């Protein structure tokens, strides 16, 4: 006998998702001469060789179409020193790059200063998954700093460098 699939309660799904600790990234790309970006926690490494990652972006995001058209984008893994940055990129500001220290990567994508790590990627695939687009990307440039990464869980930000090991 097989169980019938039911749609899970949205409040239960929120509780489930709050149990998962995730990194905090800002995904950026150039829209002509204008830098664009948004905060994204749906980021993951797929493979180290070849270096391949994925990010998921809601199609209703004001940055989605820019990312969809782009050949390259940047993934900035935020450090504990960037609460101001995550606040800006989680919002709806018209100019999220105003007063932000950033530079162009080798392929032109905006790399944000003070990040724990940064990578520029070539978009290889764009998969439609319900309300989101999954961007499958090959890493073409990467750098890491000594700054501890910011992590997110249950609606709060934490110092990823202060996590206590279990063993």
User: What distance in Å separates the CA atoms of residue 29 and residue 68, rounded to the nearest whole number?
Assistant: 10
How confident is the model over 67-120, as pLDDT tens digits?
999 999 999 999 999 999 999 999 888 899 999 999 999 999 999 999 999 999
Number of helices (H), then strands (E), belonging to the chain: the values are 3, 12
| Look-up of token digits 């998954």 | 129
% pLDDT > 90, the chain: 80
pTM of the model: 0.92
User: What distance in Å separates the CA atoms of residue 74 and residue 132, rounded to the nearest whole number?
Assistant: 18
CA neighbours within 13 Å on the CB side: how many for 29? 19
pLDDT value at position 91?
87
pLDDT value at position 117?
98
User: What distance in Å separates the CA atoms of residue 124 and residue 110, rounded to the nearest whole number?
Assistant: 19
pLDDT value at position 133?
97
User: What distance in Å separates the CA atoms of residue 10 and residue 119, rounded to the nearest whole number?
Assistant: 33
DSSP assignment letter at 158: E
């Amino acid at each position: 006998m097989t169980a019938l699939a039911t749609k899970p309660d949205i409040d239960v799904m929120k509780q489930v998702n709050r149990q998962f600790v995730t990194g905090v990234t800002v995904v950026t790309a150039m829209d002509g001469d204008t830098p664009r970006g948004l905060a994204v926690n749906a980021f993951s490494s797929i493979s180290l060789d070849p270096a391949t990652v994925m990010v998921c972006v809601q199609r209703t995001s004001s940055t989605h179409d820019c990312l969809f058209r782009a050949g390259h984008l940047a993934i900035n893994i935020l450090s504990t020193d960037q609460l101001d940055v995550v606040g800006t990129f989680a919002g709806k500001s018209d100019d999220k790059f105003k007063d932000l220290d950033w530079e162009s990567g080798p392929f032109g994508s905006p790399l944000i200063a003070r990040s724990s790590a940064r990578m520029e990627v070539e978009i290889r695939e764009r998969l439609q998954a319900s309300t989101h687009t999954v961007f499958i990307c090959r890493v073409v440039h990467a750098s890491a700093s000594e700054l501890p990464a910011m992590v997110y869980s249950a609606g709060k930000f934490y110092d990823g460098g202060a996590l206590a090991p279990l063993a």
